[in-house]
């Protein structure tokens, strides 16, 4: 069953045509990596999936609901679709533990004792149990991002969106975050859509790679196919540029 489905989606910012005729299907449990040069529309695309950006034409089905339908309750979609941001967006006025516990308490009305238990287990899983009582400002970049991942997981979503989760991190912090993401990808029921420049992560974890440029999806191939013999000249050029580094 498809978890995320774009049918002829168009997105504009004023006169700027950001997403052009997007057709894309992501099945439940799939891990899909979205790559492409900056300004290609990757972040815009991923942000439409939980309604942070509106689409103007076409339809976008997430977990069976049409996001373009004004009757669709966005809060209900977001319960099932978590997002991890480039700049973490942790709640600055809450401790790490409270960051993880807040949404389950308010949105899912999860029992307080159970909520705390789940939150602590998640912090344990991302290696931050000892930072539970710290404020986000006291965490390093990598720790913040792992806390943000734990916060998303606490909602027990069906899908997770990662919008350049390691781009704002110091190099030595990236590995820990990618390890946590790898663990999540192992869970066969979790759908993951990841915008990243980490090619080694894409190679190791993705089922499929989507290559975007200028608002178009230029290539949608299996990971092996994409890295071994990319069809599109622009994808070939992009890969050769990225792999020089």
Partner 1 sequence: MNLLQDNFPTFMQGFGYTLLSSIIALVGSMILGTVFAIMQILPQNWVRTIGNVYVQVFRNIPLLIITFFFFLVVANYVKISGFTSGTIALTLYTSAFIAETVRAGILSIDGGQMEGARANGLSFWQAMRHIILPQAFRVALPSLGNQFINLVKNSSVLAFVGGLDLMYQGNMIAANTFDTFLTYIIVAVFYLVITLPLSYYVKHLEIKLKHAA
Residue placing its CB nearer to partner 1 in the complex, 46 or 178: 46
Instruction: Compare residues 180 and 218 and give the one whose CB is closer to partner 1.
Output: 180
Which sign does the torsion angle of CA 34, 40, 42, 48 carry? negative
* Residue 77 or 178 with smaller CB distance to partner 1: 77
Burial class of 214 by CB neighbour count within 10 A (0 to 12, 13 to 18, 19+): middle
- Binding of partner 1 by 79 (CB under 8 A): yes
CB 191 within 8 A of CB 29: yes
Q: Give the interface size with partner 1 as a residue count (CB under 8 A).
A: 27
Task: Give me the least distance between CB of 145 and partner 1, in Å please.
Answer: 12
DSSP string for residues in 221-238: EEHHHHHHS-SSHHHHHH
CB of 89 vs partner 1, minimal distance in Å: 3
Q: Cβ closer to partner 1: 110 or 234? A: 110
State the sign of the Cα–Cα–Cα–Cα dihedral 180, 121, 145, 5. Answer: positive
Q: How far apart are CA 159 and CA 193, in angstroms?
A: 8
* Site residues (CB under 8 A) for partner 1, limited to 83-142: 83, 85, 87-94, 102-103, 106-108, 135, 137
Which one of residues 31, 143, 145, 152 is an interface residue with partner 1 (CB under 8 A)? Answer: 152
Least distance from partner 1 to the Cβ atom of residue 138, Å: 10
- Build a one-symbol-per-residue string for 44-63: x at contacts with partner 1 by CB under 8 A, - elsewhere: ------x-x-----------
Of 77-85, 139-147, 198-206, 219-227, the window that binds partner 1 (rule: CB under 8 A) is 77-85
Which phi and psi angles does 241 have, rounded to 5°? Answer: -70, -45
Q: Which of 87/237 has CB closer to partner 1? A: 87
Work out which of 151, 158, 208, 234 binds partner 1, going by CB under 8 A.
Answer: 151
- Min CB(98)–partner 1 separation in Å: 9
Give the span between the Cα atoms of 105 and 112, in whole angstroms. Answer: 7
HSE-CB at 77 with a 13 A cutoff on CA atoms is 25
In Å, how far are 43, 135, 170, 180, 191 from 122, measured between CA atoms?
26, 17, 23, 11, 18
Q: Is residue 148 a contact residue for partner 1 (CB under 8 A)?
A: yes
Asked if 78 touches partner 1 (CB under 8 A), the answer is: yes
Cα(44)–Cα(50) distance, rounded to whole angstroms?
A: 11
Other residues' Cβ atoms within 10 Å of the Cβ of residue 74: 12
Which residues of this protein are in contact with partner 1, per CB under 8 A? Answer: 50, 52, 75, 78-79, 82-83, 85, 87-94, 102-103, 106-108, 135, 137, 148, 151-152, 155
């Amino acid at each position: 069953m498809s978890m995320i489905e774009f049918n002829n989606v168009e997105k504009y910012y004023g006169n700027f045509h950001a997403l052009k005729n997007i057709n894309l299907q992501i099945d439940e449990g799939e891990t899909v990596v979205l790559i492409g040069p900056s300004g290609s529309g990757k972040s815009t695309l991923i942000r439409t999936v939980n309604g942070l950006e509106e689409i103007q034409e076409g339809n976008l089905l997430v977990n069976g609901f049409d996001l373009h339908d004004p009757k669709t309750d966005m809060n209900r979609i977001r319960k099932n679709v978590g997002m991890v941001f480039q700049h973490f967006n942790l709640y600055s006025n809450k401790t790490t533990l409270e960051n993880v516990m807040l949404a389950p308490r308010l949105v899912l009305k999860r029992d307080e004792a159970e909520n705390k238990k789940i939150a602590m287990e998640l912090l344990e899983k991302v290696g931050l149990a000892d930072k539970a009582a710290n404020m986000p400002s006291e965490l390093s970049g990598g720790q913040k991002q792992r806390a943000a991942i734990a916060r998303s997981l606490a909602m027990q979503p069906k899908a997770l969106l990662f919008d350049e989760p390691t781009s704002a991190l110091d190099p030595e912090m990236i590995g820990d975050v990618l390890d946590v993401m790898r663990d999540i990808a192992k869970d066969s029921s979790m759908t993951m859509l990841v915008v990243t420049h980490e090619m080694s992560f894409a190679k190791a974890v993705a089922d499929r790679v989507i290559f975007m440029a200028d608002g178009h999806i230029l290539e949608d191939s299996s990971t092996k196919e994409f890295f071994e013999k990319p069809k599109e000249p622009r994808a070939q050029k992009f890969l050769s540029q990225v792999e020089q580094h």
